[in-house]
Structure 1
Amino acid sequence: MKYFSNADAKQRVTTLAILGALLFTIIGFILGWLWMEVRYPMLKEPSFRNFTVSYNTIMDKYLNGAKSEDLINGASQGMLASLGDPYSRYLIKDQGSAYTQGYEAEFSGVGITLQEADGKFLVASLTEGAPAEREGVHAGDEIVAVNGTSIVGKAYEDIITLLRGNVGTKVKLTLQRGGAAKPIEVELTRESIAVHTVTSEMLSGGVGHVTISKFAEKTDAEFKTEVEKLQKDGMTKLLLDLRSNPGGLLKSTIQIANMLVPKDKVILKVVYKNNSKTITYKSKQEKPWTIPIVVLVNGQSASASEVLTAALKESAGATVVGEKTFGKGIVQTFQQFKDNSVLSLTEAQWKTPGGTWIHKQGVTPDVTVALPAFASLSQLPFGTELKMGSYGENVKTLQLMLKELGYTPVGDIGLFDARTSDALSRFQKDQKMTVTGAFNDMTGYRIIELLSKKLKEEDTQLQKGIEILASK
């Protein structure tokens, strides 16, 4: 080892070493910052400084205090909302779990299908044999509180999140039922509930009627099971009902198309940003499908249901009957983070086998058929009370409903007069209800029930589909 004998030389070396270390530190800092800007490009945005200052100011000075996690999640939600795209969303934690569970083959819950009406949340239907049905919850009940906390002002996703949870856990619901003076409380234990998205029935003339409510994780397997069952029962024609199907997973949609669309025919084309990539999906059909197909659609048939409709129409020679579809020609992908939050983002557009982009245009049916006019009458908002002297659109809707059910005269349209009251009294008497001559929720539910039954009997779209299949 060599020793320095000169003090000045030692000082120079020490100074150079310090300068070298300082230089390396500066270079390392610069390289680190450049790497950070490459990895996190938002750091280069001038407005990011505003975000940082706002965040720090809120954390330091906000009167009521704030949680860092809530601020960051709120910023993520705002970032997606700024796109102005209703299909691109950031769902936080339990909301994200509820979102993904909607596409799974089963979920943990109580078996309630929820409906939002006029800011209130109603039990639209119940899963047979599930906890809610077993414990006496009724379709039409209004949920006013969950676990003792009012749900006023909460979003639909929030209520779904509250109803779901781990298997074996409990949830207490406070329900308002019809004209009951006091709310009803029920405690339900969550359990695993299977999601069924496909139903079928055998109609006369060898017509198999298959309805797909949405495209979830196992919809293709359910479809295959129902079709095979119908074929054993002698199905020679398929009536595929996609009315009011909002869409869902593309994977299960393509699997069903693989069964019905001839091998190597195009199902759809997915085009990504700036035409950077186009994926063409072609049928991988293993066994030829020889049964004629009619597809039923309406204005609420959207997204994946439009994909299947267009593929069957353009590549499989199916006849489409009903009304023009919704027109959602874009594709979302979602990723779920470790805390279960979900980022759902529009990343591509899809085109029909013939290259048509149906966004905001919809798929036009080969045969346009509207449902009877009364099908467009919507259920009156929960809590609506109508009596002598009432007037307006709700009265008009009620009068049209009564008229459709054969209770006339209904009086001057839009005005609840003595004739309206008399018609309603006769309806209540025939249905063995308390006769009041006034409208309440229980009366409304019974009216809707009878109109739904009437619509099934007078389903012009289904009847046209059967008629077309009879000629094939």
Structure 2
Amino acid sequence: MKEFSNAAAKQRIITWAVIGALLFTIIGFVLGWLWMEIRYPMLREPAFRNFTVSYNTIMSKYLNGAKSEDLINGASQGMLASLGDPYSRYLIKEQGSAYTQGYEGEFSGVGITLQEADGKFIVASLTEDAPAVRGGVHAGDEIVGVNGTSIKGKAYEDIITILRGDVGTKVKLSLQRGGSAKPIEVELTREAIAVHTVTSEMLSGGIGHVTISKFGQKTDEEFKTEVEKLQKEGMTKLLLDLRSNPGGLLQSTIKIANMLVPKDKVILQVVYKDHANTITYKSKQDKPWTIPIVVLVNGQSASASEVLTAALKESAGATVVGEKTFGKGIVQTFQQFKDNSVLSLTEAQWKTPGGTWIHKQGVTPDVTVDLPAYASLSQLPFGTELEIGSYGDNVKTLQLMLKELGYSPVGDIGLYNEQTADALSKFQKDEQLAITGKFNDVTGYRILELLSNKLKEEDTQLHKGMAILNEK
């Protein structure tokens, strides 16, 4: 009897141990699943099962095979695209790096600005004292190879990525120069290249003309440097040029506003989702700004440039001249992952000091001034080829450009005929280009260059801004 009792007790212990282990496993599984659902709420979505099945099916059955990384990155891109917001996007690896470098004060490279023309990659300009200059690269050189490999057929973005790289690494370029039979080989060592976003010049009447191309990490420092330089040269009035400035970092924009907007005056208000949080930024000006300001804007002045324009107009009494701005009244934040991919997401809207939301409305100038009509002519897309018999909007644009440069008659507008070809041939002859009577990228680049120079002389907005400042 005693022996039976011990065996039964042992069996009960084993049974309870097994039951306890099972319960512990079940509870652990349930808690783990709940934790997973809290951490990853998409697991609760019925559509997530579709995603999982699709992923597994592609990985196991797709004829050409697939990389899991590509599928997941593609899903992330699609997720952001489904928002229907052009400013919210997922940028993969090198795209993410290029995105963040666009706002940094420098990037690693050799100091070459490229121009694509007829499938060729031409050195358009060189950064002063950069590796390319020291290595003997000239503006106008054609890059035909990189690291011993032809770049024929490569995309523009691919060449830019190849030219950039870690500081201290080397890149070999094969350059075609003029009529030389053999390419010139140069080896360059990549360095940190400063990105300049602010330029300045002294105009007549003590007017300092400061242009901000975009707002990057060091734009406020550059702005302060240029302003101080102009003040030493006798600046008594400021013409702030924000035309075609697409925006950028809010932090540097606010720092510039702190210099120009009176202390404690509102710069902007940032309102987050469901009005859960509103941040009002007020000027922290140290030294009063006493110089009158005129701001130049156009339809491509957007985002952060609109923030500064509205702040100066409403809180600093500046006069705004030009055209109604783009109208981007929302704020994106971005985070970069370990593989350099970037998530850029719209998280807030911003309002002017007076509480106006300018999204899709823009900032209206105090004085509306249009540029000459030819300034609105768009650049013909790279790769465009036009000849006798061509027709359409691209032909019309080319003809209007030629007329503006004094090459008339150009024939029936919109139809590329003998007169159009003759006008273009005269232009090509005068500019020492290959005389073909046909339009190509090289010819188009020179036309744009001359129109740009012409616009600088006939800049009605700048002249009006100067006139207003001279009256102050």
Scaled by the length of structure 1, what TM-score is found?
0.89
Match for residue 252 of structure 1?
Answer: 252
**What CA distance in whole angstroms lies between the structure 1 residues aligned with 2:360 and 2:119?**
27
* Mapping of residues 28-107 of structure 1, within 5 Å: 28-107=28-107
Q: Describe the SS at the equivalent of 1:208.
A: strand
Distance 1:12 1:329, change over 3 A: same
- Does residue 312 of structure 1 match 2:312? yes
Distance 1:429 1:32, change over 3 A: closer
- Does residue 294 of structure 1 match 2:298? no
The Cα of 1:114 is off from its aligned counterpart by 5.4
Q: Describe the SS at the equivalent of 1:6.
A: helix
The one-letter code matched in structure 2 to 1:235 is: M
Q: Describe the SS at the equivalent of 1:365.
A: coil
Match for residue 358 of structure 1?
Answer: 358
The one-letter code matched in structure 2 to 1:310 is: A
Q: Which runs of 5+ in 2 are unaligned?
A: none
The Cα of 1:273 is off from its aligned counterpart by 0.7
* Mapping of residues 244-283 of structure 1, within 5 Å: 244-283=244-283
The one-letter code matched in structure 2 to 1:393 is: D
Distance 1:128 1:376, change over 3 A: farther
The one-letter code matched in structure 2 to 1:410 is: V
* Mapping of residues 327-338 of structure 1, within 5 Å: 327-338=327-338
Contact 1:140 1:445 in 2 (8 A): no
Contact 1:144 1:176 in 2 (8 A): no
C-alpha deviations, 1:369-391, integer Å up to 9, x for none?
A: 11101112233334444444444
The Cα of 1:127 is off from its aligned counterpart by 2.8
Q: Describe the SS at the equivalent of 2:354.
A: coil
**What CA distance in whole angstroms lies between the structure 2 residues aligned with 1:330 and 1:302?**
10
The one-letter code matched in structure 1 to 2:379 is: Q
The Cα of 1:322 is off from its aligned counterpart by 0.7
C-alpha deviations, 1:208-264, integer Å up to 9, x for none?
A: 000000100100000000000001111110000001111111000000000000111
- Does residue 164 of structure 1 match 2:143? no
C-alpha deviations, 1:242-293, integer Å up to 9, x for none?
A: 0111111100000000000011111111111111111111100000001010
The Cα of 1:462 is off from its aligned counterpart by 0.3
The one-letter code matched in structure 2 to 1:24 is: F
Contact 1:95 1:157 in 2 (8 A): no
Match for residue 408 of structure 2?
Answer: 408
**What CA distance in whole angstroms lies between the structure 2 residues aligned with 1:465 and 1:171?**
46
**What CA distance in whole angstroms lies between the structure 2 residues aligned with 1:416 and 1:36?**
65
Match for residue 242 of structure 2?
Answer: 242
The Cα of 1:5 is off from its aligned counterpart by 6.6
Match for residue 344 of structure 1?
Answer: 344
C-alpha deviations, 1:172-196, integer Å up to 9, x for none?
A: 6688999999999876543221000
Match for residue 380 of structure 2?
Answer: 380
Match for residue 197 of structure 1?
Answer: 197
The Cα of 1:406 is off from its aligned counterpart by 2.1
My pick for the range that moved more, 158-167 or 132-141, is 132-141
Contact 1:179 1:441 in 2 (8 A): no
**What CA distance in whole angstroms lies between the structure 2 residues aligned with 1:265 and 1:289?**
13
Percent identity reads: 83
Q: Describe the SS at the equivalent of 2:193.
A: strand
Match for residue 398 of structure 2?
Answer: 398
The Cα of 1:32 is off from its aligned counterpart by 1.4
C-alpha deviations, 1:102-130, integer Å up to 9, x for none?
A: 11111012334456899997766543343
Scaled by the length of structure 2, what TM-score is found?
0.89
- Does residue 210 of structure 1 match 2:241? no
Q: Describe the SS at the equivalent of 1:355.
A: coil
Distance 1:68 1:348, change over 3 A: same
**What CA distance in whole angstroms lies between the structure 2 residues aligned with 1:317 and 1:76?**
45
Distance 1:380 1:46, change over 3 A: closer
My pick for the range that moved more, 434-443 or 177-186, is 177-186
**What CA distance in whole angstroms lies between the structure 2 residues aligned with 1:388 and 1:22?**
83
My pick for the range that moved more, 117-126 or 282-291, is 117-126
**What CA distance in whole angstroms lies between the structure 1 residues aligned with 2:395 and 2:185?**
32
Match for residue 322 of structure 2?
Answer: 322
Q: Describe the SS at the equivalent of 2:306.
A: helix
My pick for the range that moved more, 444-453 or 269-278, is 444-453
C-alpha deviations, 1:300-340, integer Å up to 9, x for none?
A: 11111111011111111111111111111111111111222
**What CA distance in whole angstroms lies between the structure 2 residues aligned with 1:159 and 1:85?**
29
Contact 1:334 1:345 in 2 (8 A): yes
Q: Describe the SS at the equivalent of 2:379.
A: coil
Q: CA RMSD in A?
A: 3.2
The one-letter code matched in structure 2 to 1:63 is: L
